[in-house]
Amino acid sequence: MISIYLDAVKDALYPKKKGVLTRRSRYIRIEPLSPYTKDEIRTLRLRLHLSVGLFADLLGVSEKTVEAWESGHNEPSGPALRLMNMLQRYPDILIETHTVYETGAR
């Protein structure tokens, strides 16, 4: 009986098809990351009304990293790029998840 559950867990953890997670008859695919230009990064940051420092804190990178992205010296990748893709689509997620909130003090 336990082996039935172990097989189901193994199927969920180690899908047989690359890029497709199967769970019985459900299939999901992870959307590929969309690259951002330096202007798109700056536009996203300004659209969110965040300074370079706050944007860097939000993404878990340094201010120098954000400045390098916005100047075109470096390009974002990995988790920061995934977060920017999500923020582009769903900017309200910052408020809804209480990630960003107004403190009242300046």
DSSP assignment letter at 22: E
Q: Is the pLDDT of residue 7 over 90?
A: no
Are both 26 and 42 inside the same structural domain?
A: no
What CATH number does residue 92 fall under? 1.10.260
Are both 2 and 50 inside the same structural domain?
A: no
pLDDT band for position 98 (cuts 50, 70, 90): confident
Give the model confidence (pLDDT) of 30-65 as tens digits.
Answer: 888 889 999 999 999 999 999 999 999 999 999 999
Q: Is the pLDDT of residue 93 over 60?
A: yes
DSSP 31-82: PPPPP--HHHHHHHHHHTT--HHHHHHHHTS-HHHHHHHHHTSS---HHHHH
Domain of 80 in residue numbering reads as 38-96
